[in-house]
Amino acid sequence: MPAYSYSRSGVTQVGAAQGDRVRLAEAVQTLHEALRMDPKDPLALFGMAWALQLSGFSAEAREYYGKALAELNDLTKFVHYNLTFILERQGDKASALREVNEALRLAPDFEPARQRKADLERSVNDSAKQPGRGTD
């Protein structure tokens, strides 16, 4: 079974097991397998945090929630970054700039997004300088 299948199954098991320690333990085993296969799987990290939280292990749950957020932010920055290309192609440079700014909010040191922002800002400024673009 692929890692994603284990993480998805584990999260489903956690949801079904609330209040049932035996079922929670089974969910944790499934999630351990998912994390063995992919230690950065955000869904498995979330599921483990949730299971630990329900089991009363708050400190450990908080650690796993933090790991899940870090992995999600890493993925999310790429989503925002990639959307900029679609939005620019569709002529919506203002939205493209908002997306690249969101990528940089999540990851201020994300160099491709910094360069993309500079390129978009240049493009917006160049478009504003073209004849016929101003208001009459």
CATH of the domain at 78: 1.25.40
Same domain for 113 and 77: yes
Q: Which of 40, 43, 39, 36 is nearest to 7 (CA)?
A: 43
Residue 68 lies in a domain: no
Q: What is the pLDDT of residues 55-108, one digit of tens each?
A: 889 999 999 999 999 888 888 999 999 999 999 999 999 999 999 999 999 999
Same domain for 77 and 52: no
Which residue range forms the structural domain that includes residue 15? 3-56
Same domain for 8 and 46: yes
**What pTM does this model have?**
0.64
Residue the block writes with tokens 């290309």: 85
Residue 67 lies in a domain: no
Residue 63 lies in a domain: no
